[in-house]
Structures are given as structure tokens and as C-alpha cells.
Amino acid sequence: MKIVLSEEALEWFHEEMDVEPGDEIKFFARYGGASPLHEGFSLGMRKEGHDEIGVETKQDEVLFYIEKRDEWFFSGHDLHVTVDPQLNELHFSYEKA
């Protein structure tokens, strides 16, 4: 399993969340909503320091990660983060690893 961010998504994080070198962005499973992988759960994200990293990638000196306790949510899929150009919002897709 891995995290893949497009260049546009990386720019979005810099512009919309004011991420700077050294920041950490956590992707996590949250109760509520729906996702293509699990009904009743959706993907959340926030700027936060890590506890126990399961999957990580570093771009522009920013750490993007998923903690071990949330790996179940991805069910063996890679997380792809892009930007919807019409909405200027992040788009998450899941591809079988």
C-alpha cells in the first residue's frame, strides 16, 4: 500500500492548508459518510503529528501518512490524491495494490 499525490494535490495542500516543510498530514478513517471501500466510514485528513506510522510518503519536505491503526480502511488499496479542477477540491481514489 502506498500514498500517491499529484503535483496539483501537493500545490492544493500548500495553498489551502498552508503546509510548510516539516509539517505532517495524516489521512485517517472516520466514522460517518461513505467511501468506495466501506459504507459508514469516510476518509479524513488533518495536519497532525504522527503516532505509529503504517504508510508514508514525503514530498516537498512534508510528511503524508496513514497510521497503522487506520490501514484496515484501505483494504489493500493505494491511496491516490488528486484535485478536481472544476471544484478545486481534493479527490481521493483507491487502486488495488
The domain 3-96 is classified under which CATH number: 3.30.230.70, 2.60.300.12, 3.30.310.40, 3.40.50.300?
2.60.300.12
At 83, is the pLDDT very low, low, confident or very high (cuts 50, 70, 90)?
Answer: very high
Sheet containing strand 77-84, strands side by side: 3-5, 77-84, 89-96
Per the confidence metrics, is the pTM higher than 0.85?
yes
Q: Could you read off the pLDDT of 34-51 as tens digits, one per residue?
A: 777 777 888 999 999 888
What is the percent of the chain with per-residue pLDDT over 90, rounded to a whole number?
80
At 75, is the pLDDT very low, low, confident or very high (cuts 50, 70, 90)?
Answer: confident
Task: Mark 57-88 as b/e (b = at least 16 C-beta within 10 Å).
Answer: eeeeebbbbbbeebeebbeebebbbbbeeeee
Domain map (residue ranges) of the chain = 3-96
